[in-house]
Amino acid sequence: MAAWDLSVIVEDLGPDAAPITISVASDLHIGGVILKLVEKLQIQRDWSDHALWWEQKQRWLLKTAWTLEKWEVHADARLVFMPQHKPVKLGLPNGIILKLRACFSNPVFQTVMGICRMLGIRHPEELSLLRPVEEKKKKKDKDLSEDIYDLTEVPLSSVSRPCLYNGMPPHFADSDKLEAVYKMLSVTQPPPAPEVIAKQYRPASVVDKAHINGRWLDSSRCLMQQGIKGNDRLWLRFKFFSFYDIDSKYDVVRVTQLYEQARWAILLEDIDCTEEEMMLFGALQYHISKVSQSEPQMLCSNAALDDLETALQSLEVKMEGESSSASELLKTMTAPDLNDYLKIFRPKRLTLKGYKQYWFKFQDTSISYFKSKEESIGEPIQQINLKGCEVAPDVNVAAQKFLIKLLIPAPEGMNEVYLRCDNEQQYAEWMAACRLASKGKSLADSTFQSEIDSIRSFLAMQKTNGSQGNAAASDESINPHSLVSPRYHKKYKPKQLTPRILDAYQNVNQLSLTDALMRFLQIWQALPDFGLSYVVVRFKGSRKDEVLGIAPNRLIRIDLGVGDVVKTWRYNNMKQWNVNWDIKQVAIEFEGNVNIAFSCLTADCKIVHEYIGGYIFMSTRSREKSEKDPLLIKHQLR
């Protein structure tokens, strides 16, 4: 067979280097071509990750046993010899950019699997890659931060699956630097400064929300084919809002990143919620940021229980803890005394008297008051049982106003009683006591002290937020504006916001970190609009743009004029769906002879196609648990 010259660009030689020309015959297989090439290069290094990329045809010549003839490669082919894995700058859900090597030759679906394996995220089928929204000029300090987190050094071969070492996947344990990366991945970020939130792009309408979904990469084609180059930016996000089998032990990174994505979705109003819900989200964020700073080790040791040694260690610790708790137990058995002079006011009574001072005494879940301390041995003037009551704060530190508003249920209705404290400490104690009592707990409850502490730290928040500014505020001085969307920045001043968040906080402040994260996710998932990915479409036969909402279990049609859901179709009634790639139209048939067809305007119909197929696949996961299935099935979707 006749030999001819094939020129190959070797990426490693730099962009300006001349192509290498080798002499080949058409029956030479790709493996042979690479061998010749490497021999000619005379460079000693590991070429095993390298492969040939055919630029004109936009394809990898990965099957090394195929001959050039079979690949239909001729002398005019522009081949590039380059590594299959290249670094990308990956924007994580928590907003941090991480440099790592991603596979450029496999379909994106598999690339994501590789990335998730590297990061320690299970169920990669729920995530995908997005082209980032172009950002305006970067400041230099941002570039700096990008370099901090770098996983490109990690040998790909060392990334194995489920085992944990020191509570993290073993490839993070090699150096402090890598450990820092793991910490970034697995610990929630502190609340962002309000200005950071305010600066970010916020979708103002459903149509705005639809645009992001045009950016998803095609999971069945590789990064090279989609024009992504080495060192490009990509975003890693949860794409399918159907989170399977979350296990707080193995899913530390997954849960953390999911939380981050949810948090930003709420802060940026990507998903709508009511004011009450926003306050609860704010309270949870506050709690999570507090707890994650105080117990990150806990997190690790929890996750590390696999390791026998650590398990034993923690057992020891636990035993010690228990023995010492015996004495503690005794201590807590006897409830601390709480009595003091407070001022009381009953707004509903038709008396003109203002606050009157009495000697107050806390007993079990009741408060009693007496004329004075000296008379406190006798019958109280009144005893009020707080069980089941509502407790609301009315505090202004600057004005030294410390009011506890009690709404006490009685057969006749609710009685309003205000208690006025003189100072912060007194307020914190009585407030904590009232809170516990309203839940039917006495002061002997072990949470009393932590309740006091959390109230005090909340007061601190109110104190410091006059002088806000330093970006990621430290523990004691979180700006409440960091916890809510910018809409509420305008509506409430920080000091108005604090009591509202505090109010919601009392229901969550005893949660562990994991529980708090899960609670946040649950409330997010319970929002009516949760899980909807929007695409602007044009229904067949319709003349106006409408929005298709794709949810884990259904499709909804939203009329842009009314802004209302006009129709819902559930997947379990779906018989089939087809895509006409030529006219870019998706046609779906439902049971009962319901047929719909639409073309997609803000996203490729491939994206809609993948969404629907993906969700249908996800709904089958509970049955087929095997790990490889997702791959197979997803591939069949192509």
Partner 1 sequence: MEDIDAMFSDLLGEMDLLTQSLGQETGPAADLPSSTKEVNFSTDYADWNASLNELEDKDLDDLMSDLMADLNATEEKLAAEIRGLEAPTPPPPDLPPPPNGQSVQAAAASPSPASLASAFPPPSSTTSPPPAPPSHSAKPSKEDLEAQVKAEKIKLALEKLKEAKVKKLVVKVLMNDGSSKTLMVDERQTVREVLDNLFEKTHCDCNVDWSLCETSHELQLERTFEDHENLVEPLSAWTRDSENQVLFQERGEKYEVFKNPQNFYLWKKDKKALKEIKDKDKEILIKENFCGSSIIVPDLESVLHLREDGKKSWKQRLFQLRASGIYYVPKGKTKSSRDLVCFVQFDNVNVYYGKDFKTKYKAPTDFCFVLKHPQIQKESQYIKYLCCDDAWTMNLWVTAIRIAKYGSLLYENFQTAQKKAVVNSAWTNRSTPSSSNPSTPSPTVKAKAQSQANGHAPKPPPGPVSQDFGHLPPPPPPPPALNDPLPPPPPDPVFPPPPPPLAAKSSPKAVGRQQHLQGNFPPPPPEMNNLPPPPPPEESPPDFLPPPPPMNFLPHPPPPTSFGGMDQSLPPPPPDPEFLPPPPPAPHVTGGGGPPAPPPPPPPPPAPVPPLQAALRPTGSAKKMPPAPPKRTTPVQGGGGGGGVDLMSELRNAMQKKRSNQ
Residues that bind partner 1 (CB under 8 A): 243, 246, 269, 272-277, 280, 388, 390, 409-414, 487, 507, 518, 521-529, 553, 563-564, 568, 572-573, 592
**The 3-state secondary structure of 68-84, one letter per residue:** HHHHCCCCCCCEEEEEC
DSSP H helices in 531-620: 605-620
For the range 570-574, what are the long-range contacts, defined as Cβ-Cβ under 8 Å and sequence gap of 24 or more? 571/612, 571/615, 571/616, 571/619, 574/616
| Closest distance to partner 1 from the beta carbon of 275 (Å) | 7
In 94-225, which ranges are continuous DSSP H helix?
A: 108-119, 140-148, 176-186, 194-199, 206-211
Q: Which residues contact 589 (CB under 8 A, 6 or more apart)?
A: 574, 575, 576, 577, 595
User: Which residue in 372, 361, 355, 370 sits closest to 417, CA to CA?
Assistant: 355
CB of 386 to partner 1, least distance (A): 12
CA gap 9, 20 in Å, rounded: 6
Minimum CB–partner distance for residue 495 and partner 1 (Å): 22
Strand order in the sheet with 564-570: 564-570, 554-559, 546-550, 533-539, 594-600, 585-590, 574-580
Number of Cβ atoms within 10 Å of the Cβ of 80: 17
For residue 299, the one-letter residue type is L
Nearest of 580, 550, 546 to residue 566 by alpha carbon: 546
CB closer to partner 1 out of 88 and 618: 618
Minimum distance from residue 305 beta carbon to partner 1 (Å): 22
**The token pair that represents 313 in the structure block:** 């260690």
Quote the least distance from Cβ 611 to partner 1, whole Å.
17
Residue with Cβ nearer partner 1 (234 or 406): 406
Q: Which two tokens stand for residue 287?
A: 């709690």
Nearer to partner 1, 450 or 568 (CB): 568
Contact (Cβ atoms closer than 8 angstroms) between residue 304 and residue 167: yes
361 Cβ contact partners less than 8 Å away, ≥ 6 residues apart:
338, 339, 367, 368, 369, 370, 376, 380
CB-wise, 108 or 527, nearer to partner 1? 527
Residue 272 C-beta: closest distance to partner 1, Å: 4
CB of 552 to partner 1, least distance (A): 8
Q: Are 197 and 267 in contact (CB under 8 A)?
A: yes
- Closest separation between CB of residue 520 and partner 1, Å? 11
Shortest Cβ distance from residue 532 to partner 1 (Å)? Answer: 12
Q: How far is the CB of 408 from partner 1 (least distance, A)?
A: 9
The nearer residue to partner 1, 198 or 460, going by C-beta atoms, is: 198
Shortest Å, Cβ 42 to partner 1: 57
Place of tokens 């072990």: 446
Nearer to partner 1, 527 or 600 (CB): 527
How is residue 160 written in tokens?
């194995």
β 390-396/401-410 pair status: antiparallel
DSSP code for 209: H
Q: What's phi and psi for 589, nearest 5 deg?
A: -115, 130
Which residue, 144 or 526, has its beta carbon nearer to partner 1? Answer: 526
- CB closer to partner 1, 156 vs 407: 407
| Nearer to partner 1 (CB atom), residue 7 or residue 619 | 619
Count Cβ atoms below 10 Å from residue 19 Cβ, excluding itself.
15
227: left (phi over 0), alpha (psi -120 to 50) or beta: left
Note the Cα 404 to chain centre separation in Å: 35
What is the closest distance, in whole angstroms, from the C-beta atom of residue 125 to partner 1 in the complex? 17
Question: Residue 124: helix, strand or coil by DSSP?
Answer: helix
Nearer to partner 1, 269 or 307 (CB): 269
Name, in order, each residue with C-beta under 8 angstroms of 526's C-beta and a sequence gap of 6 or more: none
Smallest gap from Cβ 32 to partner 1, in A, equals 53
Cβ closest to partner 1, residue 381 vs residue 594: 594
Residue (230 or 409) nearer to partner 1, CB: 409
Beta partners for residue 363, in sequence order = 366
Residues 6+ apart with CB under 8 A from 637: 220, 609, 610, 613, 614, 617
Minimum distance of partner 1 from residue 278's CB (angstroms): 8
Q: Quick one: 475 or 559, whose CB is closer to partner 1?
A: 559
In terms of CB distance, is 243 or 286 closer to partner 1?
243
Integer Cα distance of 111 and 99 in angstroms: 14
